[in-house]
Amino acid sequence: MNQSLIEFRQVSKFYGRGEATIRALDRVDLSISAGEFVSIMGPSGSGKSTCMNVIGGLDVPSSGDYLFQGIPTADFSRTQLTLLRRHMLGFVFQGFNLLARTSAVENVELPLVYRGVSARERRKLAHKALEQVGLKGREGHTTQELSGGQQQRVAIARAIVTDPAVLLADEPTGNLDTKTSREIMELISRLNRDRGITVIMVTHEEDIAAYGKRLLRFVDGRLAGDEIRVKEPDHVL
């Protein structure tokens, strides 16, 4: 039997105290296997972003258990959570979060700096990652010299340069036009299909969510729906 890569067991997350307490997650059970492409949707305040933050080790449950590769994370220290993010997870955000006036290749190298990878190896791996996202020849361009779609490709290259087990994408097309959004989603789909990277993506757009093979819907902090997609949407390559 395949062990879950990511598992929530009655995970809850509270913010505030007393009458001001907000229950962002309410006794959520879920299981995600290696190689899945999971989309997460829900209205504002539904808990989808909190779910993503817990998976990414950016937040910890108030109660319940979060297991990564079968290992409970409840007793992880801050250092251990940092190592989980550094070695197992890649992050892509709506706002790109690139360093301004810094070249594409230098932005992509950054996670490898934290790993202590040598300068020569960093440059080699960063060039390879940029080529994989279709930016060969633009390695020396600064953020200001790239379009929004190109900046997101740099962000994706930065996320995959460490060869993560999981790619966490939070509204990855939120700042992009329709055509560019499709290009970015086709890129993410290929990374999932060809490299076997597990993708977990938060989005508020139904057409973007359709790229996932599974859809989780959150309402009021609870997992209200878990749908498996059978047929690939026509726009997915």
pLDDT digits (tens, 9 = 90+) for 88-133: 999 998 888 899 889 999 999 999 998 999 999 999 999 999 999 9
pLDDT digits (tens, 9 = 90+) for 205-222: 999 999 999 999 999 999
Rounded to an integer, the average pLDDT of 156-175 is 95
For residue 11, give both structure tokens. Answer: 């995970």
The model's confidence at residue 233, banded by pLDDT at 50, 70 and 90, is: low
Over pLDDT 70: what percentage of the chain?
Answer: 96
Cα angle 34-35-36, degrees, rounded to a multiple of 5: 95
Q: Is the pLDDT score of 169 beyond 90? A: yes
**CA distances to 21, 24, 25, 59, 112 from 18, in Å:** 6, 15, 17, 21, 43
Contact 134, 153 (CB under 8 A): yes
Average pLDDT, the chain: 92
Owner of token pair 């197992």: 88
Return the pLDDT at 201. Answer: 97
At residue 107, what is the residue type? N
